[in-house]
Amino acid sequence: ELGTLIKQINAKLVGHFRYYGVTDNSNGIHTFGYCVRRKLFEILNRRSQKKSLTWEGFAKLTDRFPLAKARIYVNIYG
């Protein structure tokens, strides 16, 4: 089920963001989050022989099942 898949992805994303989310690594974790979104779109598009999902449809899907946002968890300067 899609809801279960998104929960698992979010758990992995949050773990990654908590580990790597230090002050000067915001570009890296945002890039990682973007790559995960692209890969999820690619995987969901493989479910049939034709392209069944557009970026607009994917945006609606992520509105319903939001993915975790990249954020800085540790400020090393303060």
Query: Looking at the DSSP assignment, which residues form a beta bridge with residue 22?
Result: 74
For the chain, domain boundaries: 1-64
The identity of residue 43, as a single letter, is I
The model carries a pTM of: 0.86
* Structure tokens given for 5: 């898949």
According to DSSP, the residues that pair with 24 across neighbouring strands are none
pLDDT of residue 51: 74
Residue indicated by tokens 């809801």: 3
In whole angstroms, give the CA distance from residue 51 to residue 62. Answer: 18
Question: Which residue's structure tokens are 């946002």?
Answer: 69
pLDDT at 1: 86
Nearest to 40 by CA among 20, 61, 21: 61
Q: What is the pLDDT along the chain (78 residues), one digit of tens a residue?
A: 899 999 999 999 999 999 999 999 999 999 999 999 999 999 998 877 777 889 999 999 999 999 999 999 999 887
Of 45, 27, 28, 33, the C-alpha closest to 9 is: 33
